[in-house]
Amino acid sequence: MTGTPPADAAPRDDRIRCDACPVMCFIRPGQAGACDRYANQGGTLVRVDPHVILSRTVAEGGRVVRFGAAEWDGTVVGEPTVAGVPQEFVTAIGAGTTYPDYKPAPFIVSSTVDGLDMVTVVTEGIFSYCGTKVKIDTDRHIGPERALVRADGEPVGHVSTGEYGSQMLSLGGVHHLTGGTKKEGRATCDAMLALCNGAAVELTVDGGAAVVVQAGQPPRVNGQLEERMRVGCGSATIGMFAKQWEGRVDEVVVVDDHITGVLSEHQAGKLLGIRPTGIRVEGRRSTPGRYFQVAQPGTGWGGTDIADPLAILGPFDPKVAQPGTTLLMTSTTGEHHAFFVLDEALHPVEQEAPPALRASVALIQENCEPALATVLFMGGAGGSLRSGVTENPVRLTRSVKDALTVVTCGGAPVFVWPGGGITFMVDVSRVPQGAFGSVPTPALVAPVEFTLRLSDYAALGGHMDHVRPWSSLRAGDGVRQAQRGGNPWPLVRR
């Protein structure tokens, strides 16, 4: 990729102008642009990072062998062929961009797979219209829905809906990137870039908690490392473990911010013949054994704001309750639990739990999955980058919707949203490390690959005169091999 000297400079000026993004930096020899992705190397604009090729060897039975540890031995990158022979897939990581978008994509590579002529078109898209969706596995309340989420004090997103055992954040988007102050846009871009590249980011929620999130790692809420996500809501926990309590305890209350369960009233308890205990639970009774709003959201028992579980109980009904009645109270993760016995005045008195009940709490804990933070990058690729693939951009969109073209991000599978455009989401933990970049506009840079049959590519008006064979890709040109295990192979029979 060759840049151009600045139009307003004298001929002896050795700067070149980078046209890889709208910033259009002037770069002196030996220096990089503002994005640190492009540099002036002897008067030529070069991509600083190596271009990534995914490699695999398919042995009998489909075993995948990882690559990337060894240095290049000087041979041409292998042609994708048949089982037992190395196969490669060209990603957009380090490939460069089509900006300005009238240019064909940086790499349009043909290959033969199982007798079919295929083509993969790759480009590093510049995404002003992008965001990240963050799933935080925790019962703890991190903030009310719609509350602003901040990085370095700047608003970068908001709290979205609370899902089953997880708190959801929506970060980024064009309004935070370009619709606010420059500082807000930069903070948004930096936070998303770090998250997409697998780094830890500290976020604060207005009226809520401070959280540290990192893709594939346990979240930290108000300095406390989360170990497990809840096994289910309070009602579901009753349903799953009622048999564990039958004959071992008279009553069980599973404390939960959303749905608190009560064994004796619950249908599971009824079917097991659990007798009424006269217990009274504060909150709004939904259906038998299920209570909403027993307390306010918080970081205490079951995601509520209580430290004493008895705070959600009213006086036991003296017409039903009996001294000696046993009561187990637990959270949906088993992190909090306590055992009580009613005294003569029908007051719960805490005692040491019998071994059988401690074992049931341990079973709840065992059935909780490890707490993780999950990060999805979401971007709209239905804009002008499509012209780097075809002269008639809408045909690319239609071919994606018709499943003729497979979209990947750094070789990782994506989910393409229904409806207009090419809006996709990808789990960043499945993308090779360091695949995302940024430009100072601000915007994120993400790899995008479009793979389809060569005949289909010609039919949708592709840039056929820019198609190059695999043999043109040489490791000496700054190509490196990598392998991301667990992803389906993008070059498959269509």
pLDDT at 70 over 80: no
pLDDT, one tens digit per residue, over 75-119 is 334 444 444 445 788 999 998 888 877 789 999 999 888 778 899
Nearest CA among 341, 377, 334, 371 for reference residue 130:
377
pLDDT at 400 over 90: yes
pLDDT at 182 over 90: yes
pLDDT at 401 over 90: yes
Which residues, listed in sequence order, are joined to residue 251 by a DSSP beta bridge? 327
Q: What is the mean pLDDT of residues 242-267?
A: 96
Strands 51-57 and 86-90: antiparallel
Nearest CA among 448, 493, 435, 413 for reference residue 197:
435
Pull the structure tokens for residue 270. Answer: 């009824």
What does the angle CA 333 – CA 339 – CA 343 come to, to the nearest 5 degrees?
A: 155
Mean pLDDT across the chain = 88
Q: Which of 53-62, 271-280, 328-337 has the lowest mean pLDDT?
A: 53-62
Q: What is the mean pLDDT of residues 43-59?
A: 77
Rounded to an integer, what distance in angstroms lies between the CA atom of residue 355 and that of residue 352? 9
What does the angle CA 415 – CA 419 – CA 420 come to, to the nearest 5 degrees?
A: 105
pLDDT, one tens digit per residue, over 225-250 is 999 999 999 999 999 999 999 999 99
Strand, coil or helix: what is 358? helix
Q: Cβ neighbours of residue 197 under 8 Å, at least 6 residues apart?
A: 428, 433, 434, 435, 436
Q: What is the mean pLDDT of residues 293-300?
A: 92
Q: Kindly write down the DSSP assignment for every residue of 271-324, as one continuous string.
A: HTTPPP----B-SEE-STTEEE-SS-BSSSGGGBS-SSGGGGB----TTT--TT
| Phi then psi dihedrals of residue 64, to 5 deg | -100, 130
Strands 107-113 and 468-469: parallel
Residue 69's pLDDT band (boundaries 50, 70, 90)?
A: very low
Question: Considering Cα of 122, then 127, then 130, then 132, what sign does the dihedral take?
Answer: positive
Q: What is the mean pLDDT of residues 188-205?
A: 98
Q: What is the mean pLDDT of residues 183-198?
A: 97
**Locate tokens 């600045």: which residue?**
6
The full set of domain ranges for the chain reads: 234-366
Nearest CA among 298, 153, 282, 277 for reference residue 221:
298
For the beta carbon of residue 383, count every other beta carbon within 10 angstroms: 17
Q: What is the mean pLDDT of residues 471-489?
A: 71
Strand, coil or helix: what is 84? coil
Rounded to an integer, what distance in angstroms lies between the CA atom of residue 146 and that of residue 321? 43
Burial of 3 (0-12, 13-18, 19+ CB in 10 A): buried
What does the angle CA 181 – CA 187 – CA 188 come to, to the nearest 5 degrees?
A: 90
| Phi then psi dihedrals of residue 194, to 5 deg | -60, -45
Its pTM stands at 0.85
pLDDT, one tens digit per residue, over 203-213 is 999 999 999 99
